[in-house]
C-alpha cells in the first residue's frame, strides 16, 4: 500500500497535474479520453466493501487503485460495529449450530416487506463462510461471541475485535504488504469514462480534494486537481449510502429532512448521481433504515413519553422503522420535542447486552445517545421538560395494565425472547434518555446483478466494466434490512465483483 | 513559451497572495508568530495544506500526549449480577478509538475560519470535558 507515499509525492505531482490539466484542454474535446495513469481495477471508497474489493482484486493479480474522497480511510464502516451474519463459520461448527444459506435468506426476506431480493440474499448467504475465511486468513480476529440477534433464526452473528475499526485495521495492515495496491485519500470520483463500445474504461477524479461539509460536497466544493485514470478491467463503486444528504433524502421522504445520523460525514448522494449519469438504474431510493443508540428490541422494557403531553404515545415494542416513523410524525406536530424513554434497574437487567447501556451511561453513544440516572421521577421530568404529575399518573396506569397482562392503550407485546415485560419501580432510581431515531443506513442504491455488475436503466443489461457493491447498491434488503446483514452484503459482493472484474480481458 | 507561462503563473500567484492575505485572515497563533502564507502553502498554490506539512513543525507524539488526559474510564454495574465492568474510553482526538492518528489536522483545525470539533459530528462531547479546537 502506498498511501503515505502518495501524500508526500503529492506536492510534486500537484503542480505537474495542474500543468497537464491546462495542456490537456484540447484533448478533452475528443471522444477518446487520454489518461494520466493506468490501473487494472479502480475501487471507489474504502469502507469494508471497498477494502474487500481492493484486496480480492489484488490477490487475483490485478493492479489496483483504491481511492477515498475523505481525509481518512474507512467511511461509515470504520465507526460501525460491522456485525457479521455468517452461515457456516468455525464458531457455528464448534457449537454444532444447524444453519443454512436458505435459512438466512428467508430470515432476510421475512422482514423485507416482500420487497427484498431472495435470490441475491441466497447468493450472499452461500458466500459468507468464504468471506469469513478470507478475512480470518488476512488477520481479522473475531471476539469469540456467536450472537442470535433480532430477526435471525439461528445464532450466526460474529463480532470482530475492536469493532469496525479493528477489522479494517487488520485488513489494511495486510494490504500494506501488497505491492499491487495503491491507496489515495483526498481523491474524489467525478465521472465514469466510457469507450465508444459503451464499456467503462476509466474514471475522472480530483486529487487533493478537501471535503468540507455534506452540503457543499457534490455541489460547490471544487477543490482538487482533475485527473483521468484508465481502468483496464473495471471500476468498482463501493461508495456507501446517502444518509448525510439532507436535500436528497428529504426529496424522497419529507419526514427524513431533520433526522439525526451518525454515518460518515461524506455519506452524500454524489456517487449515486455519477452512476445514474453513467446509465445505471437506481432502485428503492425511498426506503430508509433507522437505528437507535440502544438496541431496538430492548425499547420494549421501558416507557416512552412525549414531553409535549407528558403521556405515552406508542407501543415501545414496535420494529425499528415503525418506531422511528411514530416518533418523527409526532415531532412534526408537537413542536419538534424529542420523546424520551424511562427504565428502572430491573428493566435495564432485561437488555440482551448491556454494552450499549454502558456506553450510553458514560457519554460514549453518539449524539442524543446519553442516558442519565435520576433519584426521583420528579428530577427526571424536570430534565426532560415533562409534567411530573401527569407522567406519574401515566406510569401508574401503565403499571396497572402490565400487571393485568394486557396493554389496552397501545397493544404492547407482554414478552420478548422469553423475557416478560414488567412494571416499573417508580420509587427510583430511574434512567432516561431522549429517543432520536438515526437514519444510519439507506437501503436504496444502484440495481446490480449477482456479480455486482451495475444494471443499465435503458435495457436492463449489465454495464460492461461497472460494478457497485455494499450500501451503494440497492434492492437486496427491501423495507427492513435485518441487523448484521449489511456487513456480509459488503464483503461478499465486493469479492464477487472483484473476481468477476479480474477475469475480464485487459483492454 | 513554457517559461513565459510559468513566470506569468508565478506572477499571478504573487499578486493573488497579496490580495489573499488581506481576504484570508489567519485565526490561529500562526499570525502572532509572524508566520506568512507561504510558511504553510509551500508548493506555489493556495491549495489546502496537507497534514504532512503541519507535522514538519508540530510533533505528532507530543500532540497525542498533550490530550491523552481526555481518555477516561467508563463504568457500569450490572443491575442483575452486581458485576462492575470498566472500559477505557479512548476519546483523545489526536489518537482516538476510531481513527488512531490518521485524522488530518484540518479535519478540526482551520486557519482561515473558525475551527470545528470533528468528534461532535457524531458524539455528545459535553461529557468529555473537551475544549473546542483552535
pLDDT of B60 reads 95
Checking A12-20 for CB contacts under 8 A at 24+ apart, the result is A13/A207, A14/A207, A14/A208, A14/A225, A14/B43, A14/B45, A14/B47, A15/B43, A15/B44, A15/B45, A17/A207, A17/A225, A17/A226, A17/A227, A18/A225, A18/B45, A20/A227
Residue A178 C-alpha, separation from nearest chain B C-alpha, in angstroms: 20
Question: A104-154, pLDDT tens digit by residue?
Answer: 999 999 999 999 999 999 999 999 999 999 999 999 999 999 999 989 999
Q: How far apart are CA A24 and CA A202, in angstroms?
A: 16
pLDDT at A18 (0 to 100): 46
Q: Give pLDDT, residue A30.
A: 44
Domains in chain A and their CATH numbers? 3-9+35-75+180-288+440-502 (3.50.50.60), 78-165 (no CATH), 293-436 (3.90.700.10)
* DSSP string covering chain B: -HHHHHHHHHHHHHHHHHHHHHHS---STTTTTT--HHHH--SSS-PPPPHHHHTTTS-HHHHHHHTGGG-EEEEEE-TTT--EEEEEE---TTSBTTTBT-S-GGGT--SSS----GGGGTS-GGGGTPPPP-
Contact A358 B104 (CB under 8 A): no
Q: What is the DSSP letter of A147?
A: B
Band of the pLDDT at A24, cuts 50, 70, 90?
A: very low
End-to-end CA distance of chain B: 45
pLDDT, residue A16, reads 46
| Residues of A with Cβ-Cβ distance to B126 under 8 angstroms | 363, 370
Lowest-pLDDT range, A338-342, A401-405, A496-500, B23-27? B23-27
Q: How confident is the model at residue A76 (pLDDT cuts 50, 70, 90)?
A: very high
| Stretch among A182-196, A386-400, A487-501, B14-28 having the lowest mean pLDDT | B14-28
In this prediction, residue A13 has a pLDDT band, given cuts at 50, 70 and 90, of very low
Query: Rounded mean pLDDT of chain B?
Result: 85
Judge whether residue A33 has pLDDT over 70. Answer: no
Give bridge partners of residue B125 from the DSSP assignment: none
Share of chain A above pLDDT 70, in %: 93
| Torsion sign over Cα A121, A123, A128, A134 | negative
A/B interface, count of CB pairs below 8 Å: 92
Rounded to two decimals, the pTM is 0.89
What would the DSSP string read from start to end of A437-500?
A: -EEEE---EEEB-TT-EEEBTTTSSEEEEEEE-GGGEESSSTTSPPTT-HHHHHHHHHHHHHHH
Q: Which of B41, B54, B102 to mutate to test the interface with A (most CBs of A within 10 A)?
A: B102
Classify A66 as helix, strand or coil.
strand
* Rounded-to-integer distance, Cα A235 and Cα A43, Å: 6
Question: Distance between CA A57 and CA A500 in Å, rounded?
Answer: 9
pLDDT exceeds cutoff 70 at A31: no
CB contact under 8 A, A366 and B50: no
Q: What is the pLDDT of residue B1?
A: 53
Residue B103 lies in a domain: no
pLDDT at A27: 40
For Cα atoms A79, A41, A168, give the angle at the middle one, nearest 5 degrees: 20
- The CA distances from residue A254 to A68, A273, A284, A290, in Å, are 30, 20, 15, 15
Which chain B positions have a beta carbon within 8 Å of A68's beta carbon? none
B115 near B100, Cβ under 8 Å?
Answer: no
CB proximity B78 to A under 8 Å: yes
Whether residue A15 is predicted with pLDDT greater than 60 in this model: the reply is no
pLDDT at position B45 is 85
What is the C-alpha to C-alpha distance for residues A51 and A56, in angstroms, rounded to an integer? 9
Q: Is residue B117 part of a domain?
A: no
Split at pLDDT 50, 70, 90, the class of A28 is very low
Mutation pick from A7, A358, A383 vs chain B, by most beta carbons of B within 10 Å, is A358
B29 falls within a domain: yes
Prediction ipTM score: 0.84
Contact A202, A182 (CB under 8 A): no
Q: Domain range holding B28?
A: 1-47
- pLDDT of res. B132: 81
Measured in residues, chain B has a length of 134
Query: Closest to A345 (Cβ–Cβ): which among B48, B51, B79?
Result: B79
pLDDT category at A21 given cuts 50, 70, 90 is very low
Contact A121, A473 (CB under 8 A): no
Does residue B29 or residue A240 have the better pLDDT?
A: A240
Cross-chain residue pair B79–A349, CB shorter than 8 Å: yes
State whether B89 and A370 contact (CB < 8 Å): no
User: Helices A128-137 & A118-126, crossing angle to 10 degrees?
Assistant: 40
DSSP bridge partners of A441: A289
pLDDT band for A355, please (50, 70, 90 cuts): confident
Grid cell for residue A2:
502506498
Whole-number pLDDT of residue B128: 87
Reported confidence tier of residue A5, pLDDT bands at 50, 70, 90? very low
B32: in domain: yes
Considering only CB atoms, B103 lies closest to which of A10, A71, A265, namely A71
> Looking at residue A201, what is its pLDDT?
97
According to the model, what pLDDT value does residue B27 have?
Answer: 77
Per-residue pLDDT for A66 more than 80? yes
Residue A429: asked if its preceding bond is cis (omega within 30°), the reply is yes
Residues A406, A216 contacting (CB under 8 angstroms): no
Give the whole-angstrom CA distance, residue B16 versus residue B29.
23
| Residue B43, domain member (yes or no) | yes
Q: Is residue A23 over pLDDT 90?
A: no
Contact A472, A242 (CB under 8 A): no
State percent of chain B over pLDDT 70. Answer: 83
pLDDT of B16 strictly over 70: no
CB-nearest to A362 from B74, B79, B102 is B74
A74 vs chain B: nearest CA distance in angstroms? Answer: 9
Asked if A7 is an interface residue toward chain B (Cβ–Cβ < 8 A), one would say yes
Reported as half-sphere exposure (CB side, CA atoms, 13 A), residue A370 has a value of: 15
* pLDDT value of residue A4: 45
Q: Which helix (H) or strand (E) holds A251?
A: helix A246-252
Asked whether residue B12 is assigned to any structural domain, the reply reads yes
Please name the residue of chain B whose CA is at the shortest distance from the CA of residue A79.
B98
> Could you count the other beta carbons within 10 Å of the beta carbon of residue A392?
15
pLDDT tens digits, one per residue of A85-103: 999 999 999 999 999 999 9
What are the cell numbers at A242? 446517502
Which residues in chain B are closer than 8 Å to A343, comparing Cβ atoms? none
Q: What is the mean pLDDT of residues A367-375?
A: 95
Question: What letter would DSSP give residue A29?
Answer: G
Q: Is A21 on the interface with B (CB under 8 A)?
A: no
Q: C-alpha cell of A484?
A: 448484521
What average pLDDT does the segment B48-55 reach?
93
Greatest pairwise CA separation for chain A in angstroms: 81
Nearest by CB: A363 against B107, B122, B128 = B128
CB A449 within 8 Å of CB A261? no
Q: Can you tell me the mean pLDDT for A36-50?
A: 98
Q: What is the mean pLDDT of chain A?
A: 93
All three cell numbers of A396, joined, read 401508574
The total domain count for chain B is 1
Closest CA to A484 of A14, A16, A124, A44: A124
Percentage of the residues of chain B whose pLDDT score is greater than 90: 52
Tell me the backbone φ, ψ of residue A65, rounded to 5 degrees.
-120, 125
In angstroms, the CA A86 to CA A134 distance is: 13
Amino acid at each position: 500500500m502506498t498511501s503515505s507515499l502518495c501524500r508526500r509525492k503529492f506536492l510534486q505531482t500537484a503542480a505537474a497535474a495542474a500543468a497537464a490539466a491546462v495542456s490537456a484542454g484540447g484533448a478533452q474535446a475528443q471522444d477518446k479520453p487520454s489518461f494520466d495513469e493506468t490501473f487494472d481495477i479502480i475501487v471507489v471508497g474504502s469502507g469494508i466493501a471497498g477494502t474487500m474489493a481492493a484486496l480480492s482484486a489484488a490477490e487475483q493479480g490485478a493492479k489496483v487503485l483504491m481511492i477515498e474522497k475523505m481525509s481518512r480511510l474507512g467511511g461509515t464502516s470504520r465507526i460501525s460495529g460491522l456485525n457479521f451474519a455468517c452461515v457456516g463459520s468455525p464458531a457455528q461448527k464448534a457449537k454444532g449450530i444447524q444453519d443454512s444459506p436458505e435459512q438466512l435468506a428467508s430470515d432476510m426476506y421475512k422482514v423485507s416487506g416482500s420487497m427484498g431480493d431472495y435470490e441475491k440474499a441466497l447468493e450472499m448467504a452461500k458466500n459468507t463462510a468464504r468471506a469469513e475465511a478470507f478475512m480470518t486468513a488476512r488477520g481479522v480476529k473475531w471476539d469469540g461471541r456467536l450472537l442470535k440477534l433480532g430477526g435471525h433464526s439461528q445464532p450466526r452473528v460474529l463480532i470482530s475485535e475492536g469493532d469496525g475499526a479493528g477489522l479494517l485495521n487488520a485488513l489494511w495492515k495486510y494490504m500494506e504488504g501488497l505491492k499491487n495496491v495503491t491507496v489515495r485519500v483526498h481523491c474524489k470520483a467525478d465521472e465514469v469514462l466510457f469507450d465508444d463500445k459503451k464499456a467503462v474504461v476509466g474514471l475522472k477524479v480530483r486529487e487533493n480534494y478537501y471535503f468540507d461539509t455534506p452540503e457543499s460536497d457534490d455541489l460547490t466544493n471544487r477543490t482538487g486537481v482533475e485527473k483521468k485514470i484508465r481502468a483496464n478491467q473495471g471500476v468498482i463503486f463501493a461508495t456507501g449510502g446517502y444518509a448525510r444528504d439532507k436535500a436528497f433524502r428529504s426529496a424522497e421522504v419529507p419526514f427524513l429532512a431533520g433526522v439525526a445520523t451518525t454515518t460518515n460525514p461524506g455519506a452524500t448522494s454524489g456517487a449515486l448521481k455519477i452512476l445514474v449519469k453513467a446509465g445505471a438504474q437506481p432502485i428503492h431510493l425511498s426506503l430508509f433504515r433507522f437505528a437507535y443508540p440502544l438496541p431496538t428490541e430492548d425499547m420494549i422494557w421501558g416507557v416512552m413519553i412525549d414531553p409535549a403531553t407528558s403521556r405515552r404515545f406508542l407501543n415501545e415494542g414496535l420494529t425499528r422503522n415503525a418506531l422511528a416513523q411514530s416518533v418523527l410524525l409526532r415531532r412534526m406536530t408537537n413542536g419538534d420535542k424529542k420523546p424520551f424513554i424511562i427504565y428502572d434497574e430491573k428493566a435495564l437487567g432485561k437488555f440482551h447486552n448491556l454494552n450499549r447501556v454502558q456506553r450510553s451511561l458514560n457519554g460514549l453513544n453518539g449524539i442524543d445517545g446519553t442516558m442519565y440516572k435520576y433519584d426521583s421521577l420528579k428530577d427526571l421530568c424536570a430534565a426532560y421538560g415533562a409534567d411530573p404529575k401527569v407522567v406519574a399518573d401515566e406510569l401508574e396506569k401503565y403499571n396497572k395494565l402490565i400487571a393485568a397482562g394486557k396493554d389496552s392503550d397501545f397493544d404492547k407485546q407482554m414478552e420478548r425472547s422469553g423475557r416478560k415485560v414488567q412494571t416499573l419501580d417508580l420509587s427510583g432510581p430511574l434512567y432516561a434518555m431522549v429517543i432520536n431515531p438515526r437514519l444510519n443506513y439507506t437501503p436504496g442504491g444502484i440495481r446490480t446483478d449477482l456479480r455486482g455488475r451495475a444494471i443499465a436503466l435503458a435495457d436492463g443489461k449489465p454495464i460492461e466494466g461497472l460494478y457497485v457493491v455494499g450500501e451503494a447498491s440497492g434492492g437486496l434488503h427491501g423495507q427492513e434490512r435485518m441487523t448484521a446483514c449489511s456487513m456480509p452484503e459488503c464483503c461478499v459482493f465486493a469479492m464477487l465483483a472483484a473476481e468477476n472484474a479480474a477475469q475480464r480481458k485487459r483492454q | 513559451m513554457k517559461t513565459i507561462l510559468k513566470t506569468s503563473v508565478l506572477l499571478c500567484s504573487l499578486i493573488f497572495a497579496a490580495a489573499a492575505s488581506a481576504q484570508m485572515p489567519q485565526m490561529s497563533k500562526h499570525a502572532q508568530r509572524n508566520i506568512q502564507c507561504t510558511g504553510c502553502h509551500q508548493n506555489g498554490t493556495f491549495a489546502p495544506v496537507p497534514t504532512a506539512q503541519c507535522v514538519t513543525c508540530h510533533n505528532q507524539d507530543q500532540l497525542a500526549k498533550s490530550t491523552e488526559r481526555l481518555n477516561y474510564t467508563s463504568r457500569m454495574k450490572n443491575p442483575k449480577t452486581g458485576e462492575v465492568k470498566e472500559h477505557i474510553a479512548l476519546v483523545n482526538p489526536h489518537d482516538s478509538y476510531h481513527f488512531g492518528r490518521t485524522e488530518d489536522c484540518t479535519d478540526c483545525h482551520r486557519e482561515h475560519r473558525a475551527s470545528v470539533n470533528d468528534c461532535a459530528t457524531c458524539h455528545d462531547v459535553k461529557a468529555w470535558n473537551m475544549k473546542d479546537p483552535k
